[in-house]
Amino acid sequence: MIEIIKYIILGIIQGFTEPIPVSSSGHVMILNNLLNTNIDIGMLAVLTNFGSLIAIIYLYRDRIKTLFIDFIKHIKKDSPETKENFRYCLLLIIATIPAGIMGLIVTKLGIFDILEKNIKFVGVTLLITAGFLFLIRNIKGKKDNKHITLKDAIIIGLFQVVALVPGISRSGSTIVGGMLRNLKRETAFDFSFLLYIPISVATTILGLKDLLTSNLSLITIMYYLLATAIAGVVTYFATKWFKNVVKDGKLIYFVIYCLIVGTLVILFL
C-alpha cells in the first residue's frame, strides 16, 4: 500500500508540474529524494510524460486538427487560406530542431545522468528558472500568431534547449523566450505547448526501448500505468489553470515559489 501511494504522489506531482513553470523533472527528483524510493525515475518520467502528452493533445485537439489539415492542403496546393497555418507548422518544426539535436547529443554522452544525481544542482536550476520568470513578469507583448518570425521560432527553440537541464522548466523557458520576443502572453503560451508535443512524442518513442527491454514485474507495470493515468488527468486541469494565470500576468507567484523551493533544496537536501 505504501509503495502504490508513492507512485500516486509522483504521478500527481509530475502531472501538476509538467505544464507549469517549476520543472516537473526537478520536482520528481526532489520528491523521490524525500520519499527515499527505489523507483526508476527515468522510466517513470517517460511514462508519466506520455500521460501529460495525451492531456495536451486533447486540450489542443481542434487546433492540431486544423493545423494538420491546412498543412497537408497547402503542400498539395498553395492557397492563401492555408498559408498562415502552414507557416505556423513550419515555425513549430524549426523551433523543435535545436532541442531535438541537443537532446540526442546529451543522451549519447550521458551528461545529464550525472547532473540528475546531484539534488543540489536542481536547487540551483530552480533559482535560474525563477530568474527567467522574473524577467518577463510584467511583459504583455504585441505579436500574435501571424507575426511570429523565423528568428522568434529559433530563439524559442534555443530556450527549449536550456530546459533539457534538470530543474529548468520547459514551459517556463519557452514562454520566457516567446515573451522576450514580444509575443502576446496567450500567443507565447500556445506556441510553447504546441511545441511540447513533438518533443514529448520523441521522448516517449526513445523511452519505449528501455521499457520494452526492462524486466519489470506485472505489479510494477500496473503502478507505472496508474501514475501515468493520474499524471494525464492532473496535467489536463493544471494546464487550463496555468493558461489563465499567464493571461492574468501572475507569474510572480511562480518566481517566489521557485526561489523558496530552490533555496530549501540547496540548504537542506
Q: CB within 8 A of 84, min separation 6: which ones?
A: 70, 145, 146
Amino acid at 107: T
Span 194-207, pLDDT tens digits: 999 998 888 788 77
pLDDT at 110: 66
pLDDT at 42: 74
The mean pLDDT of 45-58, rounded to a whole number, is 91
Assess whether pLDDT exceeds 90 at residue 29.
no
What is the distance between the alpha carbons of residues 113 and 72, in angstroms, rounded to a whole number?
39
Task: Answer yes or no: pTM beyond 0.95.
Answer: no
Report the length, in residues, of the chain.
269
pLDDT at 90: 96
Span 252-261, pLDDT tens digits: 999 999 999 9
Span 91-130, pLDDT tens digits: 999 999 999 888 888 777 766 666 666 788 899 999 999 9
Which three cell numbers, joined as nine digits, stand for 2? 505504501
The percent of residues above 70 in pLDDT, for the chain, comes to 96
Within 10 angstroms of residue 206's Cβ, the number of other Cβ atoms is: 13
- Where residue 223 falls (left for φ over 0; alpha for ψ -120 to 50; beta otherwise) is alpha
* Range of weakest confidence among 39-43, 168-172, 257-261: 39-43
